[in-house]
Structure 1
Amino acid sequence: MQTVTIRIDGQAVEARAGESVLEVLQRLGHAPPALCHDPRLPPAPRCRLCSVEVEGQDDPVNSCALPVSEGLVVRSDSPALQAYRHQWLEALGAHCRPEDLERHPQKALHQALRAQGIAPSGQGSRVDDSHPLIHVDLARCISCQRCARVCHELQGQDVWHQLGRGEGVQLVPDSGGSLGASHCVACGACVDACPTAALVDAGGLQPERAEHWTRSVCSYCGVGCELELGTADEQVVGVRPVLDAPVNKGHLCVKGRYGQGFAQSSRRVLTPMLRREDGWQACCWDEALDEVARRLLALQAAHGADSLGVLGSARATNEDNYLTAKFARHVLGTHNVDCCARVCHAPSAAALKTLLGTGAATSSYDDIERTRLFLVAGANPNENHPVVGARIRQQLRRGAAQAIVIDPRRTELAELATVHLALRPGTNLPLLLAMAQVVLAEGLHDRDFIARRVDELEAFAVSVREWTPERAAAICGVEAEAIRQAARLYANTRPALCFHGLGMTEQGQGTEGVMALINLALLCGQIGQPGAGLNPLRGQNNVQGSAHMGCEPGSLAGGIAIEAGRARTEQVWGRALPQRPGLNLMQMLDAAEAGRVRGLLVLGYDLALSLPDSQRSWQALKRLDLLVVQDLYLNETAARFADVFLPACSTLEKDGTFMNAERRVQRVRAALRPRGQSLPDWQILGALAARMGRGEGMQFESAEAIWDEVRQVWPDGAGLSYARLDRGGLQWPCRDEDDPGTRVLHAERFGHGVRTSLRPLDYRPSPEVCDADYPWLLSTGRNLYQFNAATMSGASALQALRPTDTLDLCAADAERLGLREGQRVRVRSRRGSAELPLRIDARLQPGQLFATFHDPAVLLNRLTSSERDRWVHAPEYKVCAVQLERVPD
């Protein structure tokens, strides 16, 4: 990195080219106050408190906007500057009340006042407590505009606005009234940015109390945002983003900032429990583990190893999941191991691995700022992956890129898109086949890339020849010309970056749908270069890692097929792997229903609430002879069906690693001591293995020791030592200690060779169809303010924002049916019914419904079907025919 030498207060200082003088002063530890400056934003001087004197210039210069240059001479603390700052801070002290300095000592204005010995003189207040997570007092606003700028330039929400000029300036939310009535999404960036007590955390957070800050990774979605957890008295009292994090770049979403209270919830179960005839009974670890070991061994002896199964957790660390997979194979002797990736992105992994040789994202989040076109298919990142969604939205708002959005609903990104293809749920494949047909029919394919890297073009061209936009339009419900426009835009705009979500994968043809996206990228050469590629937006914090650590029946750690990794793994483990193939999650349930699987160990996964067709799923769970749940809470699976409950630590209470959706492995660090008798998952598994007589190879001193074994069996991760992962993590492949990691896959070769083949695909309509009895088409999904089964989010301050699920439909349908906002309705499918409140949502098309599945009191999955993807058996959550009726008041 190029450096320059400047002089500050008579001392020679080396500075990095591109830095501002303020950044240099901050690094040296004697920077002046900078109340309008935010390191996440471009300089926009207002307060002038950071002004410095520059040799050769008559007037002071704002150091936040002054770039360093060779030979620059600066004075930062002259008597004149001191007098100016003191005078200006005295004026600003009128916006601060005396108690503010003690209540919010971390605020920049309060620190400056304290340093200058200036007593605050503010008296009044203009309090707005309409938002449950953000407290507002605009009497303390100093008009620095940091909140408005960070909301506009980082989050892109434009909630805060300043009206008027001079003394009459006023800060107002976009509602014109209260913050609670605004479009605020509670990311908390404005609270971070505010240098006063005008905006502070509510909802239980009190960052001023923090005695220690721990750098870690968020426990929610697969974006992998780094955060700092402020703790006091073994409680999380503050959360703030890591400013230099490569993933989130100093930003968080509402779940990351306000959803970390789950570890200290009173709902936690902190002792092992056994179910007796009269209900749950607390016990000690020895009794619980002995019971589990005895019953597992008895089932193994009576029915064989394959009568048992284990499910890893997308919320647990890589180390936990590696030992989970090892427990199944090494201790139980079965490949019956899986995780929740089966019901979300198993189709993505299968399609990517089959066609490209690696079952993971090909690109990096930083490609968001490099691309010129986004293809967003079946994903709503602004709600489900908000930090990535904000980065995409900002590129579109700046005009730096265009977007094609494939989604039945008119989402935020669809509003900004050049082309929105609002297809009928379940018709992704015909749409993508038609786009490929246009590319080939109009000669828009990348002939050079295909000649160098792609086979089977002629066979593929024949397979899509009849898939004209007109044919697809009749099935998908979109205009043929819109399909042509999207195909032309994707083929002609370089580079183009694809993000897809569960709207692609949770279909009867989810794997083929992702294959169709890959075919399109290969046809157009949109892969293997910065700003291009294919990327599944992973739903949970470590769903990529849980499957990648071997928690799936056909793969070992590293996503390596059993036979390909058998020799290496057997050498490291010192034990032969099972020879018989294993069952995946859905197959295990089928086998349980049939009486072939008798025992199941489930880590951090609420099967009863989240699996489709609850009646059938529950019947399978009821038939088990032994169900052991290892979790934080007595979730629906444990409460209804488990025989033993083992209390696990939360990810706030243990060390390890997560793997995010861009293949980045990141360090997770304990910010709290384990609550009660809870233990890390890997310690529980090791203790259980010892009681079963298979403890050798399952005992480790630390999470790092487990990770070092992972690196032995996974060549592409051998260079990912804890020391190298310390700040920001690295992306695999990373094969040795000198490897910087891999930001873009498939630049020169695919995972299985230099060339790959296009895959002809056939469309099979979903058997779940609407008719006169079930005329509405329902899709299910997540919401910004809750997370999956709400195990964590429902035990946090987020519950105040989204206390239950809703059924969403458009205003025209509501008016036609005489339904109103908030009214309770009953939704009935061919399998069951649910009752929930109605919400009017302009994003929906007539005849279509959308609902979340977070609330166990609603139990929405009583409605969803047992239809499965034929490749990997992922359920079809997105296509459900239902009837709708009003619940009498």
Structure 2
Amino acid sequence: MPGALIRLRVNGRDVAAASGTMLLEACRQNGIEIPTLCSDPRLKPASSCRLCEVEVAGRARPPCACATPVEDGMVVATHTPALEAFRRTMLERLAADLPAEDPARMAGKPFQKLLEAYGVAPLGRRRADRKQADHPYLDVDLSWCVACGRCVRICAEVQGQDIWTFMGRGADLGVSPGGAAGLMETACVSCGACADTCPTGAIEDGARLAQGLPDRWIRTICPYCGTGCEVDMGVKGGRITEARPVLSSPVSQGHLCVKGRYGFGFNDAPDRITEPMIRRNGVWEAATWEEALAAAAAALRQALSVGGPDAVGVLASSRATNEENYLAQKFARLALGTPHVDCCARVCHAPSAAGLGQTFGTGAATNGYADIERAALLMVVGANPTENHPIVGARIRQRVRAGVPLIVVDPRRTELAELATVHLAPRPGTNLPLLQAMAQVILGEGLADGAFLAARTEGIEAFAASVQAWTPERAADLCGIEAEDIRRAARLYATLRPAMAFHGLGLTEHRQGTDGVTALAHLALLTGNVGLPGSGVNPLRGQNNVQGSAQMGCEPSRLTGYQKLAEAREIHAQVWGAEPPQGPGLNALEMIDAAGEGRMKALLVIGYDPLLSHPNALETAENLNGLEALIVVDLFLTETARAFGTVFLPAASPFEKEGTYMNGERRVQRVRQVVPPRGGSRTDGTILSQLAERLGAGSHFRFPDAAAVWDEARRTWPAIAGISHARLDREGGVQWPCPTEGHPGTPVLHAEGFPRGERVRFRPLAWQPSPEAPDAEYPFLLNTGRNLFHFNAATMTRRTRLRELAAEDLLEIHPADAEGLALTEGDPVRVESRHGAFILRAHPTDRVRPGEPFATFHSAAAFVNRATGPGRDAVTGTPEYKVTAVRLQKG
């Protein structure tokens, strides 16, 4: 909370600031700029440059404004002749060693502005020995370094990587990436924070040096993971040339990961398709929009005439805006009359929505990211946020470095696992026994929150009886971990409050993914970690708008707002002026099953690559081959389009449209058009509207802009009724529920009650082992996941220089297993399951346990999903990507 208002006098003016505010920031808030070189609002004060010294009445020596808190009645002078002379002298000393050549390097930099303001010019020369080795994005020439230390501090205090360090002493003081010849030789994660804060250009984005300062900046949301970082995109000559973090963003707090900062190059990739195509006689041919839309509409009409609404389906995009997804499900239900609509939430976090929905009544995160800094304990289950959600991961890491205990549940020794107070590494497929055993300890040792259980839950007796048999020893034997570690984790989670849990696909992508999420929610209920700041159960959502695509109704059994069909059909019928289909439809995997059975004739696929993304790729391909028409809306010729597409409609990119996204903490945020659509590409909304016209449903899709689409969605879902585009433009992101324009939004769910009333009910859970068990023929258990530098099928990232930071997928294998197979670093390994095979290069590492290799899955060439199996979660149908029995052979 802001402190009391402090009043002071600066340069003869009466000003005010909250108590605890440093004088430098207080002056800035009141339009008074004090020179500084070492200060950055993201960092703790360092007072190393001394340029911000000011005169304060009653003090013998001028203090640094960056480290001086405001005091009531303080009288300050910021620009006296003595101070200005001192600053000029300090700048002259610094400039004496800076190169006079290549002044463009400092263009727009704070140091250049100071030199110009004080009439000081650089007098030094460039030193060849200070040029660092090449990096794909960062140009480092320490000839321009003034040893302000901002790179050292931001790497430590924000990113937490500690790559940059001080070297030397006195006049020889400088910085270095750990004494290495360049950043590529270090553990640098290429977040670019050092370049972003560097005031001189010593560390600079190579794109800026090559192309100059952007002409304009447009604020939007990063198109990668579901964290929802705000980013300012720089545009020059009609192209995106740069990205920088938004300092005021409540989500990212002035930080970006490598993908958010540098992963925009796909927008202008040479193989991007910007004109429609039709496949004729097995060959893709260019077509006009009129021809392509007519062909797509004709194919859909033909399928409807042969098999009715059950013969067509729509796969919507978790990369598209909320407005486009709203139109996609409306298109399916009204233009096609089919209930068969789904999105990629099916293959990732559908179990989160189901498990949290069954337990709490709302299938979304209970708390926001701001609660990371409020939690007394953090628990991360089946997630690797420092690689997959790096901004959230960095915030967790900083809390752990500050002394907050951390529990990590993950088969691999991830970066956070190395920092964890307790790391539980269960065998893949045994999450449920582990979580049940933690519940047994909490109940058995009297650690549950009895008052919370009595006031806000039901069914505790039956639940307690159901977990009584799950002793830590029983679970430890199944999970391959120590019983005492289970007890220690349970005790920490139950006694350090508030405790905040995050989870990812390592919990959901299992045959009992929904039960795993439910078990985690049970732990929160047992300990009263629900409805409090710093607590709750929070899924880390994968794609930029996977939360929004499901909430907008791209789900076969739910309408807008993830509202049940029976409960929301009436309001949708009123708003739409037409009845949605009656029953629930097929999910994404079931639609493709139906294609293989001849029941599904035509599929519209928007921003989704099921052939590459779905498990058991050989069966997926065989089923897709049963379609008569496959209409693809995308930026690139995906593997699905390449093999089975019949019409290709080129889509506008995330940087070429207006609308909103919904991040993993339920925050709705504005997406803004940065550049116009390339070539003839069109937004998903435009494409769907034009298709609807040709199908005779055009009257339902005539909207003047994205804001009008959103306004209609607000009418169907009361929880977002108070969130308008205009409000988002004024205030920034808002977390739903937000039922009225005057409502502040809801950072913490379930503080007063639950959607179904004051109480929720525990649900006893029964464990069922996965059939994907190792045996003599397939002795290893394969796990899969993403790495830091690529995203999902790498459709976007492999079309950037990020591929130079991670050139290929790898198979992590324990050194003992590698030795037994005579494998060394880089050797090709054939990984074969009962379902298929792929080849990756070996990377021996003790991050994985013996018998449990791990593969990343970004490369279409590797096609890891050839080997993953047909197992699906019993409730949601989410694939069992995380458990596959395999055998390994040197390739």
| TM band (smaller chain) | over 0.9
* Kept in 1: contact 2:822–2:890 (CA 8 A): no
- CA deviations over 1:289-313 (Å, ceiling 9, x no partner): 1111111112111210111000111
Matching residue within 578, 603, 619 for 2:581: 578
CA distance in 2: counterparts of 1:91 and 1:593, whole angstroms:
75
Q: Give SS of 1:535's match.
A: strand
Q: How does 1:212-291 map to 2 (within 5 A)?
A: 212-277=216-281, 279-291=283-295
- CA deviations over 1:200-232 (Å, ceiling 9, x no partner): 113678684201011111000011011100111
CA distance in 2: counterparts of 1:559 and 1:810, whole angstroms:
42
Q: How does 1:747-762 map to 2 (within 5 A)?
A: 747-762=751-766
* Kept in 1: contact 2:108–2:213 (CA 8 A): no
TM-superposed CA distance for 1:382, in Å, is: 0.6
Aligned-residue Cα RMSD (Å) equals 1.4
TM-superposed CA distance for 1:101, in Å, is: 3.1
- CA deviations over 1:627-678 (Å, ceiling 9, x no partner): 0110111111111110011111111111110000000000011111111011
Q: Report which stretch shifted further, 318-327 or 806-815.
A: 806-815
Corresponding residue for 2:41? 39
Corresponding residue for 1:874? 878
Q: Give SS of 2:358's match.
A: helix
Matching residue within 129, 136, 144 for 1:140: 144
* Kept in 1: contact 2:629–2:645 (CA 8 A): yes
CA distance in 2: counterparts of 1:89 and 1:758, whole angstroms:
66
1:642 aligns with 2:645: yes
Taking only the aligned residue pairs, the percentage that are identical comes to 54
Q: Give SS of 1:602's match.
A: strand
Q: How does 1:806-885 map to 2 (within 5 A)?
A: 806-885=810-889
Alignment-mate amino acid for residue 216 of structure 2: H
TM-superposed CA distance for 1:139, in Å, is: 2.0
5+ residue gaps, structure 1 = none
Corresponding residue for 1:678? 681
Alignment-mate amino acid for residue 648 of structure 1: A
* Kept in 1: contact 2:207–2:241 (CA 8 A): no
Alignment-mate amino acid for residue 537 of structure 1: L
Corresponding residue for 1:22? 24
* Kept in 2: contact 1:100–1:110 (CA 8 A): no
* Kept in 1: contact 2:565–2:584 (CA 8 A): no
Q: 1:207 to 1:811 in 2, by over 3 A?
A: farther
1:785 aligns with 2:781: no
5+ residue gaps, structure 2 = none
Q: How does 1:51-90 map to 2 (within 5 A)?
A: 51-90=53-92
Corresponding residue for 2:529? 526
Aligned residues: 886
Q: Give SS of 2:728's match.
A: coil
Q: Give SS of 1:696's match.
A: helix
1:311 aligns with 2:320: no
Alignment-mate amino acid for residue 437 of structure 1: Q
Corresponding residue for 1:497? 500
Q: 1:205 to 1:657 in 2, by over 3 A?
A: farther
CA distance in 1: counterparts of 2:72 and 2:379, whole angstroms:
44
CA distance in 1: counterparts of 2:107 and 2:598, whole angstroms:
62
Q: How does 1:348-497 map to 2 (within 5 A)?
A: 348-399=352-403, 401-497=404-500
Q: Give SS of 2:139's match.
A: strand
* Kept in 1: contact 2:7–2:14 (CA 8 A): yes
Q: Give SS of 2:632's match.
A: strand
CA distance in 2: counterparts of 1:18 and 1:214, whole angstroms:
33
Q: Give SS of 2:8's match.
A: strand
CA distance in 2: counterparts of 1:353 and 1:825, whole angstroms:
42
CA distance in 1: counterparts of 2:282 and 2:488, whole angstroms:
65
Q: 1:16 to 1:444 in 2, by over 3 A?
A: closer
* Kept in 1: contact 2:382–2:506 (CA 8 A): yes
TM-superposed CA distance for 1:69, in Å, is: 2.5
1:163 aligns with 2:167: yes
Alignment-mate amino acid for residue 541 of structure 1: N
Corresponding residue for 1:539? 542
* Kept in 2: contact 1:95–1:141 (CA 8 A): no
Corresponding residue for 2:774? 770
Corresponding residue for 1:517? 520
* Kept in 1: contact 2:332–2:341 (CA 8 A): yes
Q: How does 1:624-773 map to 2 (within 5 A)?
A: 624-726=627-729, 727-773=731-777
CA distance in 2: counterparts of 1:600 and 1:464, whole angstroms:
44
Q: 1:619 to 1:396 in 2, by over 3 A?
A: same
CA distance in 1: counterparts of 2:867 and 2:282, whole angstroms:
32
* Kept in 1: contact 2:321–2:545 (CA 8 A): yes
Q: Report which stretch shifted further, 341-350 or 14-23.
A: 14-23
Q: Report which stretch shifted further, 592-601 or 277-286.
A: 277-286
* Kept in 1: contact 2:652–2:681 (CA 8 A): yes
Alignment-mate amino acid for residue 859 of structure 2: D
Alignment-mate amino acid for residue 140 of structure 1: W
CA distance in 1: counterparts of 2:87 and 2:826, whole angstroms:
54
TM-superposed CA distance for 1:758, in Å, is: 0.6
TM-superposed CA distance for 1:109, in Å, is: 1.0
CA distance in 2: counterparts of 1:41 and 1:674, whole angstroms:
38
CA distance in 1: counterparts of 2:208 and 2:682, whole angstroms:
26
* Kept in 2: contact 1:557–1:713 (CA 8 A): yes
Q: 1:175 to 1:538 in 2, by over 3 A?
A: farther
CA distance in 2: counterparts of 1:841 and 1:784, whole angstroms:
17
Q: Give SS of 1:82's match.
A: helix
Alignment-mate amino acid for residue 280 of structure 1: W
CA distance in 2: counterparts of 1:559 and 1:827, whole angstroms:
39
CA distance in 2: counterparts of 1:204 and 1:281, whole angstroms:
38
Corresponding residue for 2:347? 343
Matching residue within 524, 549, 555 for 2:558: 555
CA distance in 2: counterparts of 1:206 and 1:569, whole angstroms:
52
- CA deviations over 1:258-307 (Å, ceiling 9, x no partner): 11121111121000110111511111111111111111112111210111
CA distance in 2: counterparts of 1:358 and 1:655, whole angstroms:
28
Q: Give SS of 2:329's match.
A: helix
TM-superposed CA distance for 1:324, in Å, is: 0.3
TM-score, normalisation: structure 2: 0.98
1:104 aligns with 2:122: no
CA distance in 1: counterparts of 2:439 and 2:7, whole angstroms:
56
Q: Give SS of 2:698's match.
A: coil
- CA deviations over 1:815-849 (Å, ceiling 9, x no partner): 33221111222111112111121112221111111
* Kept in 1: contact 2:207–2:242 (CA 8 A): no
Corresponding residue for 1:120? 122
TM-superposed CA distance for 1:682, in Å, is: 0.5
Q: 1:42 to 1:207 in 2, by over 3 A?
A: farther
Q: Report which stretch shifted further, 808-817 or 92-101.
A: 92-101
TM-superposed CA distance for 1:118, in Å, is: 2.0
Matching residue within 308, 317, 322 for 2:326: 322
Q: How does 1:601-620 map to 2 (within 5 A)?
A: 601-620=604-623
CA distance in 1: counterparts of 2:269 and 2:180, whole angstroms:
36
Corresponding residue for 1:188? 192
CA distance in 1: counterparts of 2:686 and 2:350, whole angstroms:
28
CA distance in 2: counterparts of 1:645 and 1:258, whole angstroms:
28
Runs of 4 or more, structure 1, over 6 Å off, are none
